[in-house]
Structure 1
Amino acid sequence: MKMITTTLQQLLLWLNFTSLLIATLSSANSSDGQNLVGLSLVPASRAHPGAVCLDGSSPGYHLQKGQGAGQHSWLVHLEGGGWCSTVQECIYRARTARGSSSFMSPVAFAGHLSNSPLENPGFHNWNRVFIRYCDGASFSGNVNEPLIVSARGHSMRLFFRGQRVWEAVMEELLTRQGMLNATQAILSGDSAGGLAAFHHCNDFKKKLRGDTIVKCLLDGAMFLDMPSISGVSLIKDLYRKVTTLHNVTSLSHTCTSKQDRGECFFPQYNLDSITVPMFFLQSSYDSWQLRNVIAPAIVDPSHAWSLCTTDLSNCSKPQMGVLQEFRQALLRNFRPLLGHPMWGMHIVSCLHHTEELYSYLWNGFTRVNNMTALQAFSKWYFGGGVVQNIDCAYPCNYTCR
């Protein structure tokens, strides 16, 4: 009988997901051209002094104006996309859309940026902003002078000014686009953009009017200070290089007075500095961290972990033991937040990295406590109560896809 009930639940969930998928595809094929939103640049003539991308080009953002009841509500999203920790990495990055606005194209707004009432109820008619990530240090670098380097026989200048890009785009949104009149505002970000949203959350609140309701949404941003299977914390070394190369100086003084900047780049050492309500979307088997923090190729030359970190069903018992230790470490960092309505969370046991920009994950089939990511966040945001969904350990969640 229990098996029949479970099967029926799966069928109902699948039917709901199928209906949403059909509606989403119909919306994508409508006259709005998949809801493509064009790029707006912040010209140097009115930008925060020296606010430029890695290659010296102007920073950019994509804005879809709010309508009706949402015209004074704002959702500002910071794009993710890793970091550059060496000059050579930054040279390469400067020749892509993650380092230069010269390569940026229109963006299709989906997931929590969607304008579809079915796909994104509660937020579809807000002012929705997608800020492009073009500095390589989670919008936090602040080096005064450009670095002159040689690349392919030519000299070029690299600018490490992510903090100024943040300031410039905020000024643009506040003074020229009307965000200063916001009655409510959300700062969100995915991956490295989520890390940026974490470190800029308090400042975002300070830039808005005192009566504006402000909350932050972080997606796949709880990067852990954990050793790899070799016993060395490679990500800590990465963060130390990033914060040094880019001169990251905007981190919490509470943390930097006790620890180095590389350590203070981790959210886990800064939770007590946050004063704005914050919601975490996170996988307890974060695919990026499993492949780049726990078992990166550099410490797995035989590729013994590659199948496991691609599909958890391929993991051996010892490998799964390591992954369960990762999950427990993640939950230990969330433990001090439990029971407090200021902190919301939706921790899923599926193998992925981020959710909010993907319609099928934001409001699709995957659930924790029978709630999608959108439903969990909406209940926390609008309800004001405690919403802290923590999934059971793999492989219990049959909605993972």
Structure 2
Amino acid sequence: MGDSRFGPQWHCLLLVVCLLLRAEGDSIPITIVETAKARGAVCLDGSPPAYHIDKGYGSGINNWIVHMEGGGWCDDVKSCLERKNTYKGSSLKMEKTMGFSGILGKKQAANPDFYNWNRIKIKYCDGSSFTGDVEGVDPKTKLYFRGERIWWAVIDDLLAKGMKNAQNAILSGCSAGGLAAILHCDKFKSLLPATAKVKCVSDAGYFIHGQDVAGGYEIQKFFGRIVGLHGSVKSLPPSCTSRMKPELCFFPQYVTRTMQTPLFVINSAYDFWQLKNVLAPSAVDSKGTWKSCKLDLKKCSAAQLKTVHNFRLQFLNALSIGAGSKPSNGLFINSCYAHCQSGSAATWLADKSPVLGNTKIGKAVGDWFYDRAKFQKIDCPYPCNPTCVKVDSDS
């Protein structure tokens, strides 16, 4: 029962205060998809998948942005077991609440195009960019490789909660989640109304089939082990697997050639994960010759910096034969020593966010999504962009 001492004006004031607190709060509770277990859609440890959702309102009530969390991969039993009992392999270990920022931010000034959409972050607990689907479970390891099933279970849950009526929708992700956004993009569009505007955004997920400092392709071997262990073959885009080896279809440069849905690629041509793991992976840099350079480009020798610049050319070539070859796609390829730039307010649309063509990432993506302006820009070579200073120093 209400207290009679408080009249209608107090109830109105309390409602306003509550709404303000909700708008400024950053603790979005976790949603565990318990029903997913019945269909075998589980994390590495067998626990059900999870996501966080901040519901849309006003003009954004029928608009949806589904963002897939990143966090690397596991390519063998040992590395998957190491993830199994952490938040990267079990929903039992995940934080119960989390805040949203950047592309998922709720403040209109910081995220004007998407702030009032239904904003979702799918938690990443399978180690395969949401592609695994192995029925059998080894009784010794008790590892479940079910990333693809997780994706479907979460998407089905969201469709039932109103996404089936979406007017505008984005599938996005960062790093391993950015790769997942590319691999699942066309499937995502196919599930939504034909009248909906549907596009995808990949942040730091354009991993290239690049040559390493030893002249080989260690990254192809790594991706091959992931695809084999997790049974990813049947989950990868058939438009790619019908043309080439399955492990090559883990590389966006080959998948994006035949993608139908518009894609925006946010990436650094000097992505620090790729410099560390594609260009100079520890497997081919056993003496640690590249250790200092990989951690700080200012510490690269002249010869190493030349190799780093050549890696940029490899990246741009991979872009030109894939996502960059389509006019409908968007590109924000800067020269910051960075990895993932859409998930933080500092790099999305803040005063000191990185700029390309006098445009910040958040504005470029918004203009592209709403067809206000096309955006395909590639930065000059490192260290030419002064707006990268803040990003580089925080890497």
Letter in 2 for 1:286: D
Can you list the C-alpha shifts for 1:125-145, whole angstroms capped at 9, x where unaligned? 110000011111100001011
1:395 is aligned with what amino acid?
P
Structure 2 gap ranges (5+): 1-19, 391-395
Contact 1:252 1:273 in 2 (8 A): no
Identify the residue that residue 14 of structure 2 maps to in structure 1.
none
Q: Residue 87 in 1 paired to residue 73 in 2?
A: no
How far residue 299 of structure 1 moved from its aligned partner, in angstroms, is 2.6
Asked whether the 8 Å contact 2:324–2:331 carries over to 1, the reply is no
Match of 1:296 among 275, 281, 290: 281
Range with bigger deviation, 313-322 or 297-306: 297-306
Number of residues paired by the alignment? 365
User: For residue 199 of structure 2, what is the aligned residue in structure 1?
Assistant: 215
Alignment match, 1:21: none
Pairing of 1:352-391 with structure 2 (within 5 A)? 352-364=338-350, 365=352, 366-391=354-379
Confirm or deny that 1:167 pairs with 2:152: yes
Amino acid corresponding to residue 320 of structure 2 in structure 1: R
Match in the other structure for 2:143: 158
Q: In the alignment, which residue of structure 2 is the partner of 1:194?
A: 178
Is contact 2:210-2:315 (8 Å) kept?
A: no
Query: Aligned partners of 1:48 and 1:102: how far apart in 2?
Result: 17
- Which blocks of at least 5 consecutive residues in structure 1 are unaligned? 1-28, 150-155
Question: Is structure 2 residue 283 aligned with structure 1 residue 283?
Answer: no
Structure 1 distance, partners of 2:37, 2:145, is 16
Whole-Å separation in 1 of the counterparts to 2:372 and 2:319: 19
Q: Which residue of 2 aligns with 1:321?
A: 306
The answer as to whether partners of 2:56 and 2:118 remain within 8 angstroms in 1 is yes
The answer (yes or no) to whether the contact 2:88–2:127 under 8 Å persists in 1 is: yes
Matched, 1:119 2:103: no
Distance change in 2, residues 1:332/1:39 (3 Å): same
Determine helix, strand or coil for the equivalent of 2:112. coil
Paired amino acid for 2:107: S
The answer to whether residue 387 in structure 2 is matched with residue 399 in structure 1 is: yes
Pick one of 21, 26, 34 that aligns with 1:35. 26
Q: How far apart, in 2, do the equivalents of 1:173 and 1:283 lie?
A: 31
Question: Does the Cα contact within 8 Å between 1:291 and 1:309 map onto a contact in 2?
Answer: yes
Q: What is the aligned partner in structure 1 of residue 6 from structure 2?
A: none
Quick one: distance in 1 between partners of 2:38 and 2:176?
A: 22
Identity %: 40
Q: Which amino acid in structure 2 is aligned with residue 80 of structure 1?
A: G
* 1:11 matched residue in structure 2: none
| Distance in 1 between residues matched to 2:355 and 2:325, nearest whole Å | 21
Q: CA RMSD in A?
A: 1.8
Offset at 1:222?
0.8
- Structure 1 residues 143 and 339 mapped into 2: Cα distance closer, same or farther (>3 Å)? closer
> Structure 1 stretch 32-41 or stretch 224-233: which is displaced more?
32-41
8 Å contact from structure 1 (residues 80, 193) kept in 2 = yes
Partner residue in 2 for 1:235:
219
Q: Supply the distance in 2 between the matched residues of 1:188 and 1:31 (Cα, whole angstroms).
A: 25
Q: 1:247 — aligned with what?
A: 231
Post-superposition Cα deviations, 1:256-297, rounded to whole Å, max 9, x if no partner, equal 233221111111111222000100000000000101111123
Q: Distance in 1 between matches of 2:38 and 2:202?
A: 26
Deviations 1:319-343 (A, max 9, x none): 1111111111111122245574311
Match of 1:19 in 2: none
